Amino acid sequence: MSEGLAHVVSPLNGARFDGLISVREMAPQGMITLRGDLAAPAIKNAATGVGGHDMPGQRQASGDADRAILWMSPDELLLLLPYAEVPGAVASIGKLLEGSHALVADVSDARTGFELRGEGLREVLAKLAPADLSPGALPVGEVRRTRLGQVPAAFWLKSEASAQVICFRSVARYVFDQFRRAAQPGSTVGFF
């Protein structure tokens, strides 16, 4: 483990469940909230420089497992990057945006992530989220901010059989348990 991650503990110690789909708590990941005018060149340059990918469109994710830029609202992005890089990235963004109307915040320790894999992915998510999860309403790569049961969360499909979910760290156990219940073998509804 790198020196930068020696003190980092995930809320559920890498919990995993295999049922209709597999649910896995992800390792700690760096997350930076960047708020400002998303059309401003300074904001775009800061986001893409740290995020390592093109600026995403509305409600889109741009990136891969290690590094991504997520459109969260008309004035907010979430940058995902390796945990150990966050302090340097926050400092770099701060310098790039000096004098600009912007907010940069390290939210890495306030949030956690889950990886969902399997063919029943949309069905399991639909049991928990009050959102239209049909392929026409939620294409691969689109970010959805909604609720999972009683708590706020964001997720996006990386493929038809893979999704990433982000929620507050304080509700990690609740979210994991909800996924575990929704993914119980034999609980297929057959909606999708």
Question: pLDDT tens digit string along 100-153?
Answer: 999 999 999 999 999 999 999 999 999 999 999 999 999 999 999 999 999 999
How many folded domains does the chain comprise?
A: 1
What average pLDDT does this structure show over 169-182? 98
Q: CA–CA separation, 171 vs 25, rounded Å?
A: 12
Contact between 75 and 37 under an 8 Å Cβ cutoff? The reply is: yes
Q: How far apart are the first and last CA of the chain?
A: 40
Give strand pairing partners of 168. Answer: 111
Model confidence over 127-140: pLDDT tens digits?
999 999 999 999 99
Model confidence over 59-83: pLDDT tens digits?
999 998 789 999 999 999 999 999 9
Does residue 188 form part of some domain?
A: no
Q: Which residue has the tokens 């600026």?
A: 55
Does residue 2 form part of some domain?
A: no
Contact between 70 and 56 under an 8 Å Cβ cutoff? The reply is: yes
Total residues found in the chain within this entry: 192
> Which candidate, 22, 32, 27, 12, places its Cα nearest to that of 65?
27
Does residue 165 form part of some domain?
A: yes
The structure tokens listed for 92 are 């770099």
Does residue 6 form part of some domain?
A: no
Does residue 60 form part of some domain?
A: yes
In this predicted structure, the answer to whether residue 46 has a pLDDT above a threshold of 50 is yes
CATH number of the domain where residue 67 is located: 3.30.1360.120
- Report pTM: 0.92
Write the burial class of residue 96 (CB in 10 Å: 0-12 exposed, 13-18 middle, 19+ buried). Answer: middle
Domain containing 107 equals 14-182
